[in-house]
Structure 1
Amino acid sequence: MRKTTALRVAAAASTALLLATACDSRRGDDAQGTAADGACKGEQTTGITDTTIKLGGIYPLSGPASAYGTISNGVSTYFKHVNDKGGIDGRKVEFVVRDDGYQPPKAVEEARRLVEREKVFALFQSLGTPSTAAVWDYLNERKVPQPFVATGASAWGTDDKHPWTIGWQPDYVSEARVYAKYLKEEKPKAKVAVLFQNDDFGKDLLGGFKKAVAGSGIEVVAEESYEVTDPSVSAQMTSLARSGADALLNVTTPKFGSQALAADAKNTKWNPLHIVNNVSSSASVLEPVGFKNVQGVVSATYFKDPADPQWADDREMKTYNEALDKYAPDSDPTNQFNAYGWAAASSLHKALDAMECPTREGLRDAVRNLKDVEVGMLLPGVTLSTGPDDAFPIETMQLMRFKGERWQLFGDPVDTRKEFGAPGH
C-alpha cells in the first residue's frame, strides 16, 4: 500500500493542530444520538436519530478553485428533493456546508467545527486532495466517516490505515490510464507535453500516465507545473509549445484549465491534440474560452452530461432538472458540477440505505461493501463496487470529444479495474 510523502506531511501537520485542541468526547457525543437497535449498541450515533441525519461538507466556495463550489449546490438540491419525498429511510437530511477557500489550514478549522460543534454524522464530500489530506488523520482518529471525498487521489483507495475515508470518483491514476490507452491506439508515437498542478492531484495523474505509457512508443517530452496561487499559466504554456509536442495533457483545476485552453487556442503555430482532465471538463471551464476554440478537445467522464440531448428523456435527468428548477432556480442545470454533486449525493443515499446499523460504523462498512450498485446519474455500465481488497467505488470511464457546443461520448466504456487492476497493486 502506498501513501505519498506530501500526503504524510499535510496529514501530520494538520493532525498536530487538530488533536492539540480536540478532546476525546466520542462517548459524550454518542449519548446525544438516538440509541440504535440491540445489535448496534455501543456504536456511534452522533448526528443521526430516527428522524434526522446531519451531514457536513467542505468546499472551496471562494478562492482559486471556487468553480468547484457549485458541487455543493447539486448535493444540497438532491437532499432537499429527497427530504420532500420523506427523507432517507424516514430521516430528513441536514447538509451543513463550510468554505475552506481551497486552503488546507482552513479545511482543518472547518472539519473541527463540523465534528465538534455541529456534531455531524459524517463529513461528506470534502473537496480537493490537499484539503482532504489535511483532515483525514483527524477524522479517522475520531472515527468520523469521510465518505466519497471529492478528489481522485489514489491514496484514498490504496491506504489501509484510514478505514473511515474513501473516495468516489475514478482515481487520477485510472483516469490517466484511459488517456494512455487512447493515445496508444490513436497516436502510438505521440510526443506529449504536460501541464500539471504542483501537488498530489497533479503528480498522481502525471505519475499514472507515465507508468501507463512506459515501454510504448509514446514519450513525455516536456513538463511544466504551476502553483494554485499563481495568477496564470501563460508562461508554462509558452514553454510547452516550444517542445513541439503533438499532444498536450492538461492536468489542471478549472481556473487554470480555462487559461491553458485559451493559451492553446491563441497559439496558431502549435496544434497539439489537447486532452483535458475530467475535473476541468465542465462547460463552465470551456465556455469562457469560446466553444469554437475548444473543438476536438478530448476528455473522459463517468456521469451523464446534463447538456447532452441524448439524456433529455432520461428519468434521472428529468428528476434532476425538475429539482434544480424547484430548489435552486438560479442554478444552471447544464453545469456539470451540479450534476456531479447530484450523482455523489445519490451514491451516498445508496450507501446509507445499505447500512446494517444506523451508526457511523454502519456507514463506514457500507461504503466498503458495495456490489455493482446502480446510480441514476452515472453513465450506463458505470456502477459502484467496493470490497475487502478494492476501495475504489468507480473505475469505469468513457472518452468524450468536444464538438459544436457540447461533449460527445465515443468508444466503449473502459473498466480500468478489469484492464489494468487497481492502482497501487
Structure 2
Amino acid sequence: MSDHWSHSTLVRNSRSALRWTAILLGTAAFISTANAAPGDNVNIVRDLAGRVGPIIGSALACRDIARPRVQLIADKFQAVIREASSNEAERDDLTRLLDRYVADGRTAVSGGRVDCRVAERQLSDLEQSIAGPSLSGALAPSSAAAATAPTVPVQQPPSIPTLSSVNSVSNVRGVTDREIRFGICGPFSGAAKELGRQMKLGVETAFNRANEAGGVDGRMLKLVAADDGYEPSRTLDAMKQLYEKDQVFGFIGNVGTPTAAIGIPYALERRALFFGAFTGSNILRNDPPDRYVFNYRASYAEETDATVRYLIKLRHLQPRQIAVFAQQDSYGDAGFAGVAKAMRTLGVSDGAILRLGYKRNTVDVDDAVNLLRLQKTPVKAVVMVATYRAAAKFIEKTKDVYPGLIYTNVSFVGSTALSDELMLLGPRFASGVIVTQVVPAVGGYSSAVMEYKNALAKYFPGENADYVSFEGYIAANVLIQGLKKTGPQIDTERLIDNLEAMRNIDLGLGAPLNFGRGEHQALHKIWGTQIDDSGKYVPIELE
C-alpha cells in the first residue's frame, strides 16, 4: 500500500462527523434493502476497514490518546466483522485486512505524515459518528429479513486473537491469546556454541519460571532459536527465519558484536524489539539510544576501563606494561576502545598500546604470541577481549614463557567454558585468571543467585550455574517485568513506553536497574572474579 493512498485515506477520514454519519447510515440503508447478499456485506466492511483502521492505528501511535477510547472503536468493529462474516475464513480475512490498515495509520504518525492533533480529531469525529446504535446494529439485517432468515452462529475460536485486544498493529506478530513468541539468534554450532547454548538456557529458565506462575496475563512465553554460528554472513538469514518464518514478536539474548552489526539494522527497519543482547559493544549504545534496542549489561568499555584501573591502582602496574589480546573484529575493537579510553585519561596515547590479535572462530594465536615475544618492554598483564577457546590457547602458549603474567578477560569470554578449558590443561593454567562480570558471582548466596540456581535446577536438572546463562536469566526477567507492566494489550510501542518508565528495578543483584528515554542500558556495575586452584570463580574487589 502506497504512502499516497494511506495519506489520502487519512485525509478523507479527517472530515467532519456529519460525513462519517452519512457514510455509516448510508451503509446501513444499503444493507437493509433488497436482501443484500452476504458478499455485499463483506465488501462494505472491507471499505469501512479502510476508513476506520487508519484512525485506530494513528490513535494507538499517540500516547496522549486514552487507550479505552480506542478500545471502544475496536470492540464495535469486532462486532461488525462477526456479523458480516458468513464463515471463519471470511472473518479471519477481514481481521487481517483491518490489521494492515491499522498498521498504515500507525506508520503515518511515526513517519510524520499525520500528527497527533489530527489523529485526535479523526478519533473524535469517528466517536461522534458511531455514538448511539452500535456499528453491528447498523449493519444488521432489517427486522423483517431477520425474522425469516436462518441464523448460523459462528463462534470465535480461542486460538485466534480478537480485535478487542487491540493487537492489530504491525509489530504484534508473535502474540496470540495464548503465547508471546521471542527469537534468539546466536552460535549454536561452531567454536563459540557454548555461549549461544548458555544464553538460550538462561532465557528459557526465566521464561519457564514465569510460565509456571501463569505467564504474562495468561500468555505463555516461548523462545525460538536460530543458529548463525557467530558468523555475520549467516546472521541475516537467521534473523529472517525468526521474524518472517517463525513470526517472533521481538528478539532477546542475541549473541555477539559482529553479528549484532547485522541483526540490529534488520530489527530497527522493522521496529522490532532487540533486547538484552549478549554483547557490550557501543553499536548497541547510541546517544540518544535507538528506540527499539535495550541492554541489560554494562558495556565492554566499562569492563575494560574497570580492568585497567584495577591493574594500575591495585596491582601497581605501569600503563606500558599492559597489552591487549583482542579478536580481530568489532568485538575486539569495542574492548580495545575501552582500554584506550582508560589509558588516555592517564595520559597514554592509543598508539603506545600493544594490541595482539586472532581471527574470529579460530584458535590461531601464534602471531599474537610471536608479537608479544618481540616486545622490549616487559609486559606484565594482558587484557583479553576473546572467546573461551582462543583465550585458553593464548594462556597455554604464554604461561611458561611469561611466569607471573596477569590474564584478564571481559565477560563475553564465557567464564565457565574458559575455566573448563584451562582446567583440562592443569590447575596452574587456570589459577589467578581474572574475568570481569556483569552479574554477581554465581558461587555467592545473594537472593538473585539463589533464585536463579533454584530455577535452573528445577527446569534444567544437571546444568551447572554459569555466568552467561545467569545473564540471560536476569535480562529475561527484566523484560518480563516490562511485559507485565504493559498489560494484556501488548504491542511493541506500548512495551517500549513501559520499559522506558521502569526505575529502580530490584532483582536482588545489589545494584538497581534503570531505564529511561535517554537510557536504554539497565546496569553499569562491574563485578570482579578470579579462578582459584579448583577452577571455581571467587569474587575480587576491582577498586
Give the structure-1-normalised TM-score: 0.81
Deviations 1:184-237 (A, max 9, x none): 312252411111011111111111211112152768542112111434213312
Q: What amino acid does structure 2 have at the position aligned with 1:286? A: S
Q: 1:134, CA displacement in angstroms?
A: 0.5
Distance 2:164 2:412 in 1: 39
Distance 1:214 1:329 in 2: 47
* Correspondence 1:197 to 2:327: yes
Q: What amino acid does structure 2 have at the position aligned with 1:279? A: F
SS in 2 for 1:266: coil
- Checking the alignment, whether the CA contact within 8 Å between 1:47 and 1:54 is kept in structure 2 is yes
Distance 1:352 1:385 in 2: 15
Compared with structure 1, are the counterparts of its residues 163 and 362 closer, same or farther at alpha carbon in structure 2 (3 Å cutoff)?
Answer: same
Distance 1:93 1:276 in 2: 33
- Checking the alignment, whether the CA contact within 8 Å between 2:185 and 2:228 is kept in structure 1 is yes
2:381 is aligned to 247
Q: 1:275, CA displacement in angstroms?
A: 1.5
The structure having more radius of gyration, on CA atoms, is: 2
* Correspondence 1:390 to 2:519: yes
SS in 1 for 2:521: coil
Distance 2:369 2:517 in 1: 43
* Correspondence 1:80 to 2:217: no
Q: What amino acid does structure 1 have at the position aligned with 2:528? A: L
Distance 1:79 1:302 in 2: 20
SS in 2 for 1:345: helix
- Checking the alignment, whether the CA contact within 8 Å between 1:47 and 1:55 is kept in structure 2 is yes
Relative to its length, the structure with more helix (as a share) is 2
- Written as runs of structure 1 = structure 2, the 5 A alignment for 1:10-409 is 27-28=99-100, 34-35=162-163, 44-69=171-196, 70-158=198-286, 160=288, 162-186=290-314, 187-190=316-319, 191-216=321-346, 220-243=352-375, 244-267=378-401, 269-280=402-413, 282-290=415-423, 291-306=427-442, 308=443, 310-311=444-445, 314-331=446-463, 333-355=464-486, 357-376=489-508, 379-381=509-511, 383-405=512-534, 406-409=536-539
Q: 1:411, CA displacement in angstroms?
A: 2.7
Structure 1, 130-139 or 284-293: larger mean CA deviation? 284-293
| Unaligned residue ranges in structure 2 (runs of 5+) | 1-96, 104-159
| Unaligned residue ranges in structure 1 (runs of 5+) | 1-24, 415-425
- Checking the alignment, whether the CA contact within 8 Å between 2:288 and 2:518 is kept in structure 1 is no
- Checking the alignment, whether the CA contact within 8 Å between 1:145 and 1:363 is kept in structure 2 is no
Compared with structure 1, are the counterparts of its residues 161 and 172 closer, same or farther at alpha carbon in structure 2 (3 Å cutoff)?
Answer: closer
Q: 1:300, CA displacement in angstroms?
A: 1.8
Q: 1:42, CA displacement in angstroms?
A: 5.1
Q: Which structure has the higher relative contact order (CA within 8 Å, separation 6+)?
A: 1
Compute the RMSD of aligned alpha carbons: 2.7
- Checking the alignment, whether the CA contact within 8 Å between 2:482 and 2:499 is kept in structure 1 is yes
Compared with structure 1, are the counterparts of its residues 410 and 321 closer, same or farther at alpha carbon in structure 2 (3 Å cutoff)?
Answer: closer
Distance 2:168 2:100 in 1: 15
Compared with structure 1, are the counterparts of its residues 178 and 36 closer, same or farther at alpha carbon in structure 2 (3 Å cutoff)?
Answer: farther
Distance 2:283 2:369 in 1: 29
1:420 is aligned to none
Q: 1:295, CA displacement in angstroms?
A: 2.1
SS in 2 for 1:149: coil
Distance 2:203 2:194 in 1: 15
- Checking the alignment, whether the CA contact within 8 Å between 1:100 and 1:110 is kept in structure 2 is yes
Distance 2:450 2:363 in 1: 39
Q: What amino acid does structure 2 have at the position aligned with 1:256? A: A
Q: 1:77, CA displacement in angstroms?
A: 2.3
- Checking the alignment, whether the CA contact within 8 Å between 1:30 and 1:46 is kept in structure 2 is no
Structure 1, 322-331 or 392-401: larger mean CA deviation? 322-331
Distance 1:151 1:366 in 2: 23
Distance 1:277 1:151 in 2: 10
2:540 is aligned to 410
Q: 1:53, CA displacement in angstroms?
A: 0.7
Compared with structure 1, are the counterparts of its residues 85 and 232 closer, same or farther at alpha carbon in structure 2 (3 Å cutoff)?
Answer: same
Q: What amino acid does structure 2 have at the position aligned with 1:196? A: A
- Checking the alignment, whether the CA contact within 8 Å between 1:167 and 1:393 is kept in structure 2 is yes
